[in-house]
Every structure is written in structure tokens, then in C-alpha cells.
Amino acid sequence: MTDSKNIATQIRSGDVQAFEGLFRRHYAGMCGYALRYVEGSALAEEMVQDVFLGFWEKRLTLEITGSVEAYLYRSVRNACLNHIKHAKVKHRYAESHISTVVEEENRVSDKVVELELHERIETCVNQLPPERKKIFKMSREEGLKYKEIAGQLGLSVKTVEAQMGKALKFLRENLIEYLPAIAILIQVSIMVKEWLINFFNHE
């Protein structure tokens, strides 16, 4: 204990040789001790070096009640535990950040798919013969019943049904390559699912 107090006194006075002697005597043992807490000799050495550096820089204000060696080993343990705690926080943040980025990318991707599908449907609808296109839009965009469409256009209900059947067949044939996208949208959005069901089904 007396030797330890002498060393502490010498180091407080700025005795570099006393500090270097303390460093040489305990460095290897403290690195081995640090390895109980952290993985990798490089990290263990970094922990020990930081402790010695802090010990020297704060030598004038340090309060050491026991031995210098015990103080140093406690400092190494605390440094390692703080490193582990900080690493866990960073890991949780990284996982959360990655999850947020992936979710955002998925939302953007789903929106792109939805827009492409709507554009493709609009293109197909515009390729329908004029009367068939008008009947289709009155049914699917205005939400009119076949009987109402027939009344407004002066056609029979059977004619409207036949025109709608041909329109839907044309769309199914031309949108077959988009079936995977439709499946994705159905999984992602209930609103889109309902829209697609109404879009493709007869009354």
C-alpha cells in the first residue's frame, strides 16, 4: 500500500519514469483483463491505453483511496462496460434505422408499381372502341349500373353487358404481365385491393 501511495504521489508530481514503470508492469495484465469484457486484442489494448492516458491527464485531480493497481483495473472494467453499453445502443439504432429505410423503400416501390399499373390500365382503356370505352368509364369510373348506362345511351342492357365483357377481356389479356404487381398491391393496400376487385369484376 505504501509503495502504491508513493507511486501515486510521484505520478501526481509529474514523474514520467514512475508512470512509465507503472505502465510496463501492468499493461499486459490489464489487456488480458479487458479481454474478459471485449472481443479482440486490439480493442482490449485500446481500452487499456485510454485508461492510462486518462490516468496521466487527470493525475492532479484523481482521488485514489486504495491501490493504484486496483484503481486502474476498475477503470478498465468501467471503460469496457461503457463501450459495451454504447455498442448496444448503436446496434439498436442501426437496426431501427435500417428497418425504417427498408420500410420507406418498400412504400416508394409499392407506389411506383401502383402508378405504373394505373397508367397501363388507362392506356388500355384508351385503346377501346369509342362506345365500349364510354360504357366502361361510365361503369367503372362513374359507378353506374348497366341499366342506368343503357338508359342514358339508348342501348339494351344486354348490349351494355356484352360491351363490358369485351372490354374486361381486352384488359385482362393486356394486363397479364402485371399480375405480379397486382398481387403485390393487393397484399399491401386494402383500398387498392377493393379498387382492383371492382375494376375487373362484372356487376
Q: Report d(CA 59, CA 137) in Å as an integer.
A: 84
Q: Strand, helix or coil at 178? A: helix
Q: Report d(CA 126, CA 180) in Å as an integer.
A: 23
Report the range of poorest mean pLDDT among 85-94, 116-125, 158-167: 85-94
CB atoms within 10 A of CB 136: 22
Reported pTM: 0.43
The mean pLDDT value of the chain amounts to 76
More reliable by pLDDT, 74 or 196: 74
Taking CA atoms, 33 is separated from 30, 40, 81, 105, in Å, by: 5, 12, 12, 45
Give the model confidence (pLDDT) of 40-95 as tens digits.
Answer: 888 889 989 999 998 888 888 777 777 788 888 888 888 888 888 887 766 675 56
- pLDDT above 70: percentage of residues in the chain: 69
Instruction: Look at residue 130 and tell me whether its pLDDT is greater than 60.
Output: yes
Instruction: Look at residue 190 and tell me whether its pLDDT is greater than 50.
Output: no
Q: What is the mean pLDDT of residues 5-25?
A: 84
Instruction: Look at residue 14 and tell me whether its pLDDT is greater than 80.
Output: yes
Question: What cell does 145 get?
Answer: 349500373
Question: Which range among 28-37, 105-114, 170-179 has the greatest average pLDDT?
Answer: 28-37
Instruction: Look at residue 164 and tell me whether its pLDDT is greater than 70.
Output: yes
Please report the DSSP string for 64-132 in residue order: -SS-HHHHHHHHHHHHHHHHHHHHHHHHHHHHHHHHHHHHHHHHHHHHHHHHHHHHHHHHHHHTS-HHH
Domains and CATH numbers, the chain: 2-92 (1.10.1740.10), 127-200 (1.10.10)
Q: Strand, helix or coil at 203? A: coil
Q: Strand, helix or coil at 149? A: helix
Confidence at residue 182, expressed as pLDDT on a 0 to 100 scale: 54
Instruction: Provide the pLDDT confidence category of residue 199 given band limits of 50, 70 and 90.
Output: low
Q: Report d(CA 137, CA 145) in Å as an integer.
A: 12
Q: What is the mean pLDDT of residues 139-166?
A: 87
